[in-house]
C-alpha cells in the first residue's frame, strides 16, 4: 500500500494574484485560513482573473501576522499593505461566476493601487465572516461554504501527476500554474483521481469533482506570458467531454492544522 505525504501547502489570499507557500496552515469552515478572502472586481462588481487579465500574475502577495503586502514584479509601485483587521467601507454586491455575494469594499487606496498595477479600473473587496457563499449543492453533503475560490474550498494535485505531465512537455512547467492548495508526494500518477475520502490531521476530505482546467494554466506566473501549454498536451490524454482535467476539487468536514510532512490517510477509494 502506498504512503502519501503532504509536500506543499499554498494559499492565494487575493483571488488570481500571486500565491504563498506555507509550512503549515489552519483549516477553516470555508477553506485554508485567508485563502481567497480578497478579490479584485471591475466597476460592475464582477470578478477579474488571469483568464482575461494575465497581468494579475505580476502582483506578488506576502503575508505576515499583521496582514498582506502586495508588490509588483515589474513596475516600481510602493507596496500596498492590507491589514487583516481594518475599517472597511460599506458592503457591496459582487459576482463570482453565477454567485452574487455580499463583500466589504476594502479602500479607495487599494483600488487606486490595483488599478495602476493592472492597467484596468478595478476595486478590491473582502469576504467578511458573515458573508456565506454556498458550495454547489449538486456536490455538497451539507451546508458547506466557500470563499471567493472558483467553486470549492480545496484543490489537491499529486506530485507524481505533475511529474508525468512534465515528462510529456518539451519545456517543463512549475506546479504554480495549477494553483493547488495541497500537493502530495508518493504513489503513482493520478492516484488522487481514485480517492473518495481521505484524512489529513483532524479533517476529512472528500474528492467530489475533477478540476476542469482553464487558460490560467497557460500563464507564466513569473512573467505573465501566455502560451499554449500545458493545455495542448493535457488535451491529448486528460480530456473528457470537451474539458481537460488535472487535480481534484475537495470538500471537507472538520478543522485543525495541516503541516508539511503530514501523512494522508486514505479512508475510501472510488
Please say if the pLDDT value at position 143 is more than 90: no
Lowest mean per-residue pLDDT among 75-89, 100-114, 172-186, 241-255: 75-89
- Position with higher pLDDT, 179 vs 202: 179
CA separation, residue 196 to residues 191, 247, 258 (Å): 11, 13, 19
Q: Where are the chain's structural domains?
A: 4-269
User: What mean pLDDT do residues 46-59 have?
Assistant: 98
User: What mean pLDDT do residues 17-26 have?
Assistant: 98
CATH class in words for 4-269: mainly beta
230 prior amide bond cis, ω within 30: yes
Choose among 82, 73, 99, 258: nearest CA to 181. Answer: 258
Exposure string of 91-125, with b = 16+ CB inside 10 Å and e = fewer, is beebebeeeebebbbbbeebbebbeebbebebbbb
How far apart are alpha carbons 168 and 166 in whole angstroms? 5
Query: How much is the CA Rg of the chain, to the nearest whole Å?
Result: 18
Give the pLDDT of residue 40.
Answer: 98
Helix residue ranges per DSSP H, 32-125: 108-118
Give the pLDDT of residue 118.
Answer: 98
Grouping H, G, I as helix, E, B as strand and the rest as coil, residue 160 is: helix
pTM over 0.85: yes
Give the pLDDT of residue 138.
Answer: 79
How far apart are alpha carbons 170 and 229 in whole angstroms? 10
DSSP state of 118: H
Amino acid at each position: 500500500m502506498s504512503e502519501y505525504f503532504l509536500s506543499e501547502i499554498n494559499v492565494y489570499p487575493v483571488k488570481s494574484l500571486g500565491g504563498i507557500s506555507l509550512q503549515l496552515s489552519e483549516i477553516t469552515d470555508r477553506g485554508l485560513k485567508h485563502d481567497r478572502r480578497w478579490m479584485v472586481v471591475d466597476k460592475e462588481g464582477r470578478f477579474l482573473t488571469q483568464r482575461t487579465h494575465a497581468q494579475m500574475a505580476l502582483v506578488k502577495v506576502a503575508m505576515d501576522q499583521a496582514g498582506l503586502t502586495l508588490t509588483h514584479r515589474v513596475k516600481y509601485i510602493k507596496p500596498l499593505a492590507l491589514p487583516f483587521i481594518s475599517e472597511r467601507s460599506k458592503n457591496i454586491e459582487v459576482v463570482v461566476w453565477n454567485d452574487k455575494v455580499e463583500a466589504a469594499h476594502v479602500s479607495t487606496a487599494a483600488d487606486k493601487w490595483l488599478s495602476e498595477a493592472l492597467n484596468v479600473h478595478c476595486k478590491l473587496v473582502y469576504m467578511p465572516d458573515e458573508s456565506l457563499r454556498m458550495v454547489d449543492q449538486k456536490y455538497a453533503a451539507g451546508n458547506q461554504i466557500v470563499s471567493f475560490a472558483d467553486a470549492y474550498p480545496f484543490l489537491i494535485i499529486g506530485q507524481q501527476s505533475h511529474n508525468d505531465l512534465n515528462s510529456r512537455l518539451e519545456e517543463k512547467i512549475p506546479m504554480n500554474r495549477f494553483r493547488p492548495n495541497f500537493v502530495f508526494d508518493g504513489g503513482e500518477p493520478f492516484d488522487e483521481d481514485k480517492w473518495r475520502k481521505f484524512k489529513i490531521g483532524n479533517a476529512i476530505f472528500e474528492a467530489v469533482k475533477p478540476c476542469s482546467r482553464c487558460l490560467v494554466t497557460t500563464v507564466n506566473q513569473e512573467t505573465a506570458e501566455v502560451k499554449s501549454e500545458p493545455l495542448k498536451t493535457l488535451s491529448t490524454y486528460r480530456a473528457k467531454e470537451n474539458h481537460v482535467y488535472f487535480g481534484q476539487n475537495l470538500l471537507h468536514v472538520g478543522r485543525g492544522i495541516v503541516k508539511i510532512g503530514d501523512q494522508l490517510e486514505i479512508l475510501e477509494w472510488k
